[in-house]
A = this chain, B = another copy of it.
Amino acid sequence: MPAFLNDRFVENDEAVLHVSDLSIQRGYAIFDFCRTINGIPLFLHDHLERFYASASAMHLPLKKNPEELSFIIHELIKRTAVSEAGIRIMLTGGNSTDSYHPAEPNLVITCNPVQTAIQSDFEKGYSIITHEYQRELPLVKTINYTMAVWLQPMLKNKEADDFLYYNKESVTEFPRCNAFIVTRDQKLVTPAHNILKGITRKHILLLARDMMTVEERNILIDELSTAHEIFLTATTKKIIPVIKMNNKIIGDGRPGVVTRKLYQKFLELENSLTHLVSL
């Protein structure tokens, strides 16, 4: 699969960074990730907007403007010729001379086949475990997933699908997904603070506003056990119902009514944005 490195398209094996790059030296880099359907990058505008916000927050200057990046991404999709792909846009701290202070950033864009969640993943749902942890600089999509990767063997031992982080008494997010609950009084609630604001999260909130009361606010960990439904959202996972938490069944152990309705509406949105209408 070809890639884009700083100012040119390269073959996959040429997509390398010198070990002096600050991503390798100090884990200092940001990224964003979107996927294509029929070669069309879904919510690209949103992803680019967040990518520029992350770059700015981390004091990483980006020479190319969003139109240029968009052009490169479309060209990369064309050259890759994969209908469903994951596009990863990265900006690193650059080849640092003292392995501590950022230099001219390196821009890397890759495009690889991606496996997204399908209907059977939705029906199966997730078994999750709560874990106390707060991501550093949570509003920024940095590459720091040290804790998430480190925890993976524990996940396997506990036969669970993912961790749900909480900070003191408040639910925040999954390592790579946002959390939602449907309360007993049929409100859709999602954490407002100390999280990365996901692009799928954004569109689910927009879709849900036509259906029900929606709240972005603090969610106490205790509220989870009384929730009617819990689900997560992410670019490759779309919507996945949580059917078990800390080995306790949520609702009736099957995807809830609201979760299923939002899932259907999301698939319709996806479809409308990435399929040409046949007249």
Report which A residues bind B (CB closer than 8 A).
Answer: 3, 13, 15-29, 58-59, 88, 90, 92-93, 99-102, 108, 110, 136-137, 142-150, 152-153, 176
Contact = CB atoms under 8 A, between A and B. Distances in A.
Given A136-B146, A145-B28, A146-B137, A152 B101 contact: yes
A108 B99 CA distance: 14
B90 A24 contact: yes
A90 B146 contact: no
Nearest to A19: B15
A26 B92 CA distance: 12
A197 B93 CA distance: 27
Number of identical monomers bound together in the oligomeric complex = 2
A186 B111 CA distance: 61
20 contacts: A15-B20, A19-B108, A19-B110, A21-B24, A23-B27, A24-B92, A24-B108, A26-B143, A27-B142, A27-B146, A28-B145, A28-B149, A28-B150, A58-B150, A59-B150, A100-B145, A100-B149, A136-B136, A137-B147, A144-B144
Contacts of A99: 88
A142 B22 CA distance: 13
A137 B151 CA distance: 11
Nearest to A29: B24
A18 B17 CA distance: 6
The 5 closest A-B pairs by CB, nearest first: A27-B27, A16-B16, A26-B145, A27-B143, A27-B144
A70 B2 CA distance: 38
Contacts of A25: 143
Contacts of A176: 100
Contacts of A148: 26, 100
Given A17-B17, A88-B99, A100-B149, 9 more contacts: A3-B19, A16-B18, A17-B19, A24-B108, A26-B143, A26-B145, A28-B150, A100-B145, A142-B146
A176 B99 CA distance: 12
Contacts of A102: 149
Contact of A143 (B17, B24, B147): B24
B149 A93 contact: yes
Contacts of A59: 150, 153
Contacts of A18: 13, 15-16
A146 B149 contact: no
The residue among A21, A28, A108, A146 with the most chain B CB atoms within 10 A of its own CB is A146
Contact of A27 (B3, B29, B110, B152): B29
